[in-house]
């Protein structure tokens, strides 16, 4: 066993023991008080001496372990205070300091458990069993044994075990643990569902699209575990404050001893200087911030992300799927035949394409449903993936797809359609054509739609003097059109993934920290290179989610401004905790040095400071009114 492994195991063992120290010390104080009450002062003092000594051993060992790892912390003052009180016969003061220190850590652990409640529930709700549909009926298997393509049955009230697509049935789906949305969503055949969401109403059959370990829910759990492993850089910044604080405390204690001629003054100073506010407050504030974000469907990897996000000077946004909805919507339908109206063109196209799994087919069918158009079932359906489909509707042979696909099937195509297609592409549109065996009879134009709340989000960011930039791999004409709608003046288009990284590095030279917001695999390098990477929607690529520091599970751009404002609030409260704790402690140090505070009273006053600072840190957990949107 190496030294590091041994010290790690010892540290874990000491952490467990420290949970019982407050009970030990409090019990000792009660029993000691009884002996003091019956005029057995000597027994009372001896009991306090041994209780304080035994209870302090785990803290002394933890402090020594910290020193061996190169960590100089503020617990040194508390250790010196306890040791000094025992040395000069002030056992009661030493016991109260120990109770304060151990009680403060108990409060910290309680607050952290309270703050991480949502994260813990997220992990606890991980599905473990799936009902696999087989010829002989339903077979319960471990979710880890479910393969892509297998059919899973989910009963009402059950957690959906793996990501999938509904193949049979319709039900309300509760995605609140994933997205923060409070209302269930009605979903039917062809709709995607995420593992970890809850089937509320009816039996569903779904086809697994990912294995359990690759599911969105498991990705979230891993992000949560990452959030618990990291210590925020700002917490280490509090330790830097502690160096100054420790020097001031020992200087005042030494001066009080020299000027008064009694070590009691020095002990009083050290007692009120015990710096629990520095040790406790910042981790609690950041843990509360991470938890508060999780309640809104925002997973933050660690506390240092909160600090960098709060201090951000620039935000870079990808276009497709971030500033836009990411899925082309039907923009326009045109008829080129007197035999068919635009409504009939839409009906024929949607009927023919309803068996396709292509994203345009889903959009086309959704638009037809929205227009309340009845569809016919296609006969002789055939699809060439990425090109088009053929089939027969009510005896009429039809083709639907790109011009190149129609040309392959010998459909007559004039120059007008090629020019029309080129113009549509320049405008950021996708166009597919409906044709008989001989000629084109109609066209459907698709366009990615700008998110409706985009101006509100950018207006909020600009209130904080944030520089907003668009970076996209799309054409400049399309990017400029979206930028104009979103009121973005700085645009970089036609970018490869590595060029997005170069833009991030360029902006970092002048406006750091830089935040990158994206959702696709082409955004992953830039997300990783930025000071803070945010992935939006929870349905983006796995690579993007892993590269990002923040994952927003609900597909709502307003969560960007929410997590930014939350980060600013957390950092502000953490700073308040440090300054309040240090200010009150230093003030009491001067009063103690003047001889107005006895060691026991000083320990009690320091406990009051601890409670004040911890309660202030827990203010992060109180949801501000503007998060109710």
pLDDT, tens digit, 9 for 90 and up, residues 68-104: 766 655 667 777 777 777 777 777 777 877 776 776 6
Write down the pLDDT at residue 62: 76
520: domain CATH number? 3.40.50.1000
373: CATH? 3.40.1110.10
Alpha helices in 69-205 (DSSP H): 75-87, 91-115, 117-124, 176-179
Domain contains 312: yes
* Residue 506 CB partners (closer than 8 Å, separation 6+): none
The pair of structure tokens assigned to 162 is 């793996």
Residue 358 lies in a domain: yes
Whether residue 440 sits in one domain with residue 333: yes
Question: How many other β-carbons are positioned within 10 Å of the β-carbon of residue 253?
Answer: 26
The answer to whether position 96 is within a domain reads: no
Task: Tell me if 430 is assigned to some domain.
Answer: yes
DSSP 537: S
Same domain, 139 and 204: yes
428 and 391 within one domain: yes
Question: Are 550 and 479 in the same domain?
Answer: yes
pLDDT score at 537: 65
Write the DSSP symbol of residue 597.
Answer: S
Query: For a pLDDT cut of 70, what percent of the chain falls above it?
Result: 81
pTM: 0.65
On whether both 303 and 198 belong to a single domain, the answer is: no
Whether residues 512 and 530 share a domain: the answer is yes
Region of poorest pLDDT, from 35-39, 160-164, 177-181, 301-305: 177-181
Apex CA 230: angle with CA 224 and CA 231, to 5°? 135
Domains contained in the chain, number: 3
Q: Are 320 and 343 members of one domain? A: no
d(CA 110, CA 264): 34
166's CB contacts (< 8 A; 6+ apart) are 187, 188, 189, 190, 191, 192, 193, 204, 205, 206
| Rounded distance between C-alpha atoms, residue 553 and residue 184, angstroms | 15
Is 503 contained in some domain?
Answer: yes
Tell me the residue length of the chain. Answer: 629
Task: Specify whether 343 is located in the same domain as 401.
Answer: yes
The 10s digit of each residue's pLDDT in 23-57 is 888 888 888 888 888 888 888 888 888 888 888 88
Q: What is the CATH number of the domain that holds 165?
A: 2.70.150.10
pLDDT, greater one: 36 or 445: 445
Name which of 68-82, 203-217, 357-371, 483-497 the model is least confident about: 68-82
Q: pLDDT averaged over the chain?
A: 80
Query: Of 217, 251, 267, which residue constitutes the final position of a domain?
Result: 217
Residue 416 lies in a domain: yes
Q: Which residues of 52-67 are buried (b: 16+ CB within 10 A; e: fewer)?
A: bbebbebbebbbeebe
What residue numbers bound the domain in which 305 lies? 289-325+451-562
- Which of 399, 414, 447 finishes a domain? 447
Top pLDDT among 238 and 213 is at 213
Instruction: Assess whether 136 and 160 both reside in one domain.
Output: yes
Write the pLDDT tens digit of every residue in 110-124.
Answer: 645 654 555 555 556
One domain, residues 457 and 558: yes
Boundary-marking domain end, from 409, 427, 447: 447
Confirm whether 17 is domain-assigned.
no
Check whether residue 467 and residue 558 sit in a common domain: yes
Q: DSSP readout, 262-295?
A: -HHHHHHHHHHH--HHHHHHHHHHHHHHHHHHHH
> Are 455 and 312 in the same domain?
yes
Quickly tell me which residue has 């930028």 as its tokens.
483
Q: Is 136 exposed, middle or buried (0-12, 13-18, 19+ CB in 10 A)?
A: exposed
Q: Give a yes or no: residue 597 inside a domain.
A: no
């Amino acid at each position: 066993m190496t030294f590091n492994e041994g010290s790690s195991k010892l540290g874990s063992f000491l952490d467990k023991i420290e949970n019982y120290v407050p009970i030990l010390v409090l019990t000792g104080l009660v029993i000691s008080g009884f002996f003091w009450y019956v005029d057995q002062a000597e027994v009372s003092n001896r009991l306090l001496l041994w209780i304080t000594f035994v209870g302090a051993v785990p803290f002394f060992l933890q402090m020594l372990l910290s020193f061996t790892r190169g960590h100089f912390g503020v617990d040194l003052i508390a250790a010196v205070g306890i040791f000094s009180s025992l040395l000069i016969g002030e056992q009661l003061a030493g016991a109260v300091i120990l109770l304060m220190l151990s009680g403060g850590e108990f409060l910290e652990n309680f607050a952290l458990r309270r703050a991480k409640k949502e994260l813990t529930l997220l992990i606890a709700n991980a599905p473990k069993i799936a009902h696999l549909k087989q010829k002989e009926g339903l077979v319960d298997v471990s979710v880890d044994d479910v393969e892509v393509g297998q059919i899973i049955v989910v009963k009402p009230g059950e957690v959906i075990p793996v990501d999938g697509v509904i193949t049979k049935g319709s039900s309300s789906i509760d995605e609140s643990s994933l997205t923060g949305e409070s209302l269930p969503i009605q979903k039917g055949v062809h709709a995607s569902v995420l593992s970890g969401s809850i089937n509320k109403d009816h039996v569903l059959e779904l086809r697994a699209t990912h294995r359990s370990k690759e599911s969105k829910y498991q990705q979230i759990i891993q992000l949560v575990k990452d959030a618990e492993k990291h210590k925020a850089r700002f917490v280490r910044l509090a330790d830097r404050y502690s160096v100054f604080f420790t020097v001031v405390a020992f200087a005042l204690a030494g001066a009080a001893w020299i000027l008064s001629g009694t070590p009691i003054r020095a002990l009083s100073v050290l007692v009120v200087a015990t710096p629990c506010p520095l040790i406790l407050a910042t981790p609690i504030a950041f843990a509360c911030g991470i938890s508060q974000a999780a309640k809104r469907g925002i997973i933050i990897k660690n506390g240092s992300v909160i600090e960098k996000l709060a201090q951000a000077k620039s935000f870079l946004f990808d276009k497709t799927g971030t500033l836009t909805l990411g899925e082309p919507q039907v923009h326009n339908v045109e008829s080129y035949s007197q035999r068919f109206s635009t409504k009939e063109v839409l009906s024929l196209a949607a009927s023919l394409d309803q068996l396709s799994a292509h994203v345009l087919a889903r959009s086309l069918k959704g638009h037809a449903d929205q227009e309340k158009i009845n569809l016919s079932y296609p006969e002789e359906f055939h699809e060439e993936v990425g090109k088009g489909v053929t089939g027969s509707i009510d005896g009429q042979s039809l083709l639907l797809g790109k011009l190149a696909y129609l040309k392959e099937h010998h459909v007559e195509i004039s120059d007008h359609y090629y020019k029309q297609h080129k113009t549509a592409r320049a405008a950021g549109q996708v166009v597919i054509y409906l044709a008989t065996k001989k000629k084109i009879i109609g066209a459907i134009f698709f366009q990615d739609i700008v998110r409706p709340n985009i101006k509100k989000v950018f207006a909020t960011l600009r209130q904080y003097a944030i520089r907003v930039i668009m970076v996209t791999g799309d054409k400049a004409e399309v990017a400029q059109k979206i930028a104009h709608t979103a009121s973005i003046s700085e645009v970089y288009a036609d970018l490869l993934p590595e060029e997005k990284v170069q833009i991030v590095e360029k902006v970092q030279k002048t406006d750091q920290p830089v935040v990158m917001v994206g959702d696709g695999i082409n955004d992953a390098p830039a997300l990783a290179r930025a000071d803070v990477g945010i992935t939006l929607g929870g349905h983006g690529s796995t690579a993007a989610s892993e590269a990002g520091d923040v994952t927003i599970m609900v597909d709502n751009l307003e969560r960007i401004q929410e997590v930014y404002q939350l980060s600013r609030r957390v950092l502000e409260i953490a700073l308040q905790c440090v300054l309040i704790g240090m200010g009150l402690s230093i003030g009491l140090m001067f009063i103690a040095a003047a001889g107005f505070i006895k060691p026991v009273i000083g320990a009690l006053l320091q406990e009051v400071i601890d409670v004040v600072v911890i309660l202030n840190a827990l203010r992060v957990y109180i949801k501000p009114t503007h998060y109710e949107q």
